[in-house]
């Protein structure tokens, strides 16, 4: 932060935490449990996916990253799904407190909330696991207005061919020079953005 190293860990996990508007204490507790018990390390005999960060007594570095809550509006990132700063800072501090209570406080490190940071990660493997709380698997009936708009935009980008179904289903006359077998390929006038 500002050219100064404020935190570092050796072997362990780097947690990039995106806090959503809808996150609650329940999601926080779930994520703490999952992070500390996730079996991503090898055991003493070299068997992969056997040990957790707690099993190995490794460290955890947490970085709050609101950009993980991004929804794209065309090519522009929209962060309305991220929890507002004041609430998110309290939530993040509570998250760190819960991690420290459930594990060894001296092995939990963090960045500086809200600061512009240079984060250097040496990704072993490389292995990156995306964890979502159970509430993140939303029933389509519970989607927010913004998410529904995003889905509609994505669906409208794929347009149906302009020729009518009557024209498509009509038999082609072999002698008609305007009739095409379609072998030349279909050229669409619409381009992806």
User: Known catalytic residues?
Assistant: 67
Q: At what angle do helices 25-37 and 85-102 cross, to 10 degrees?
A: 40
Residue 82 DSSP class: B
- Greatest Cα pair distance, the chain, in angstroms, is 83
CA angle centred on 145, ends 142 and 149, rounded to 5°: 115
* Dihedral angle computed from the Cα positions of residues 37, 7, 104 and 128, in that order, rounded to the nearest 10 degrees: 0
């Amino acid at each position: 932060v500002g050219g100064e190293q404020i935190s570092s860990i050796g072997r362990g996990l780097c947690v990039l935490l995106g806090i959503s508007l809808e996150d609650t204490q329940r999601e926080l507790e779930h994520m703490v449990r999952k992070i500390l018990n996730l079996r991503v390390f090898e055991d003493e005999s070299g068997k992969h996916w056997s040990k957790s960060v707690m099993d190995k007594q490794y460290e955890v570095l947490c970085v709050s990253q609101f950009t993980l809550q991004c929804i794209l509006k065309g090519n522009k990132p929209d962060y309305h799904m991220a929890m507002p700063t004041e609430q998110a800072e309290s939530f993040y501090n509570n998250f760190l407190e819960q991690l420290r209570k459930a594990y060894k406080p001296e092995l939990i490190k963090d960045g500086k909330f809200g600061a512009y940071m240079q984060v250097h990660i040496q990704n072993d493997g490389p292995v990156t696991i995306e964890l979502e709380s159970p509430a993140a698997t939303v029933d389509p009936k519970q989607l927010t207005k913004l998410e529904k708009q995003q889905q509609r935009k994505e669906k409208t980008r794929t347009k149906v061919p302009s020729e009518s179904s009557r024209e498509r289903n009509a038999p082609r006359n072999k002698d008609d020079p305007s009739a095409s077998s379609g072998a030349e390929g279909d050229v669409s006038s619409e381009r992806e953005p």
